Amino acid sequence: MKTLGKKIRLLRHQKGWSQEDVAKRLDISIPAFSKIETGITDINLSRLEQISALFEMSVVQLLTFSDAEQDQKVINELEVINKKLMDRETEVIDLQKKVIELFEELRHNRIIA
What does the domain layout of the chain look like in residue ranges? 2-64, 67-113
Q: What is the pLDDT of residues 26-67, one digit of tens each?
A: 999 999 999 999 989 889 999 999 999 999 999 998 888 776
- The C-alpha atoms of residue 51 and residue 59 are separated, in whole angstroms, by 8
Sign of the CA dihedral running 13, 17, 47, 39? positive
CATH number for 2-64 (one of 3.40.50.880, 1.10.1740.10, 3.40.50.11400, 1.10.260.40): it is 1.10.260.40
Q: Percentage of the chain with pLDDT > 70?
A: 93
pTM of the complete model: 0.57
Round to whole Å and give the CA distance between 99 and 102: 5
> How far is the C-alpha of 62 from the C-alpha of 68, rounded, in Å?
14
Using DSSP's 3-state secondary structure scheme, residue 82 falls into helix
* C-alpha dihedral (79, 84, 90, 96), degrees to nearest 10: -140
